[in-house]
Structure 1
């Protein structure tokens, strides 16, 4: 990996790690649905501006419906679930749990898409589950409400894992599509999903927008424009430059950045047992993302999981 790609990788990890901090700031004030909707709406606006700036042709080549559906699974649902978790979980917790995305990809691939699970991946899944178990038995995650937050994070990572396979089946295997167009379409699909949730929340309880200060609005802008629009551009550029497997190494770097930002801005601390849970998940990721032997790779199709 060249220095330019390494720089993009570190910047992407910093942005995605920061997303959990920003959600932790915004969601308790505005609520989960407005946080998620604001994120995808700003992300779509940023991507639309980029496409206009680059004068790219905005054509979905008959894949608009598939792209919108991918947005529901890959952005709308997980962003809503992580925003719900941000109301009860520290940002560092959510960042660590997000790292289980490739593990969910392995399980979903085996259960629904006939993927082969080798010894390394099986060991990785088991160790990763052990790491999650350690996290859920330490610190604030022992609170019943926080356990629902952990469940929301894991459901979000399952959405990411499923979306990777659906992207291959609905987009790549049907001739492909410009990655920036896919990213824009996915954000638009997420907007369509989240808008009813936003309206439902507004009807159920008055929105506390007037009480939100500049800090909350700045965090929401950063969440949408930096952690979503810019981050997707960086991620797809990395995939083009170094391939999906190396691009997925960003998963290792998101938890340290997430914990660092939350410590710096919110004063969150990490206990020894929490660090152990994160270390087990990191080991699991290494086993899952470790290249297999040539014969095993030939037997299994390419894999790609979104984050």
Structure 2
């Protein structure tokens, strides 16, 4: 993998790590479902504005419906699952469980997409999960039905991420590809349409929301425009360049970045467990993304 690909992977992790900071600020005030919908709505609007300013042709080449469906799988369902999980899980646990995406992607690849993984990469997946566990060693959460439901919701989300990576390659990359901006726009339109009924139900039947809070709208805009619109452009480019499994390793890097953002903005402290876990995660990512050694056969003439 090229150095530029590694840098883009780190940038994507930093952006998505910041998304959990934004959600921690906004969701308690606006509600989880409302926050999820506003996230994809702002992302959809921002991507549309970017394409309009660039005078980019909306040439989906017959892949518009596919991109809508990918948006439901890769954004709509996961965002909704994380919203539901937020009802039961302590702060930060969703970000930690988000790191199971490479494992879920590996399982999905083996079960449904005829993918094979080397022992080294399987080792990297499991070492990464150990690193995530070390990071959360100082946290405590009493085991209960709610906690189990929240964990299952997060696993459904990461399962969607794992499947969506392979579907993106099969439906888009292997069929001539699709511009990353168009892929991102189509996916966010699909996610917006999927979440719209949930948002309508929340506004009409849920608790009253105090919408006139300008500082929260700043975080909503950052969540939608930067952490979703810009991030998904980067994400789809990475899938095309380095493949779905390597791209999914970004989820190993999100929790460390999430903690760093929390430290910088919210004054949260960094424990020794975090530092040790971050080092383990770094080693795991290297195992997964580093090139395989192939034996060279020589011909005998």
Query: Which residue is 2:218 aligned to?
Result: 218
Task: Tell me if the contact between 2:43 and 2:224 (Cα under 8 Å) persists in the aligned partners.
Answer: yes
Is the alpha carbon distance of 1:131 and 1:85 closer, same or farther for their aligned partners in structure 2, counting shifts above 3 Å? Answer: farther
Query: Which residue is 2:64 aligned to?
Result: 64
Query: Which residue is 1:34 aligned to?
Result: 34
Shift of 1:127: 3.1
Is the alpha carbon distance of 1:192 and 1:49 closer, same or farther for their aligned partners in structure 2, counting shifts above 3 Å? Answer: same
Shift of 1:261: 1.2
Report the aligned-residue RMSD: 3.1
How does 1:4-15 map onto structure 2 within 5 Å? 10-15=10-15
Shift of 1:250: 4.5
**In structure 2, distance between residues paired with 1:95 and 1:54:** 34
Task: Tell me if the contact between 2:44 and 2:185 (Cα under 8 Å) persists in the aligned partners.
Answer: yes
Task: Tell me if the contact between 2:85 and 2:150 (Cα under 8 Å) persists in the aligned partners.
Answer: yes
**In structure 2, distance between residues paired with 1:209 and 1:43:** 22
Shift of 1:99: 2.9
How does 1:145-164 map onto structure 2 within 5 Å? 145-164=146-165
In structure 1, the residue corresponding to 2:58 is in which secondary structure?
Answer: coil
Query: Which residue is 2:94 aligned to?
Result: 94
Is 2:231 the counterpart of 1:227? no
Equivalent residues, number: 292
After superposition, give the CA deviation of every residue in 1:209-236 in whole Å (9 maximum; x if it has no partner).
Answer: 34x6223221111100111112223444
Gaps of 5+ in 1: 296-307
Gaps of 5+ in 2: 296-301
Query: Which residue is 1:187 aligned to?
Result: 188
Farther-moved stretch of structure 1 (170-179 vs 137-146): 137-146
**In structure 1, distance between residues paired with 2:11 and 2:134:** 29
Query: Which residue is 1:299 aligned to?
Result: none
TM-score by length of 2: 0.82
In structure 1, the residue corresponding to 2:96 is in which secondary structure?
Answer: helix
Is the alpha carbon distance of 1:276 and 1:262 closer, same or farther for their aligned partners in structure 2, counting shifts above 3 Å? Answer: same
**In structure 2, distance between residues paired with 1:265 and 1:279:** 23
Query: Which residue is 1:202 aligned to?
Result: 203
Is the alpha carbon distance of 1:239 and 1:109 closer, same or farther for their aligned partners in structure 2, counting shifts above 3 Å? Answer: closer
**In structure 2, distance between residues paired with 1:35 and 1:276:** 33
Task: Tell me if the contact between 1:141 and 1:150 (Cα under 8 Å) persists in the aligned partners.
Answer: no
How does 1:1-307 map onto structure 2 within 5 Å? 1=2, 10-86=10-86, 88-91=89-92, 93-131=93-131, 139-142=139-142, 144=144, 145-210=146-211, 213-236=213-236, 243-244=242-243, 250-251=250-251, 253-273=253-273, 279-294=279-294
**In structure 1, distance between residues paired with 2:285 and 2:77:** 23
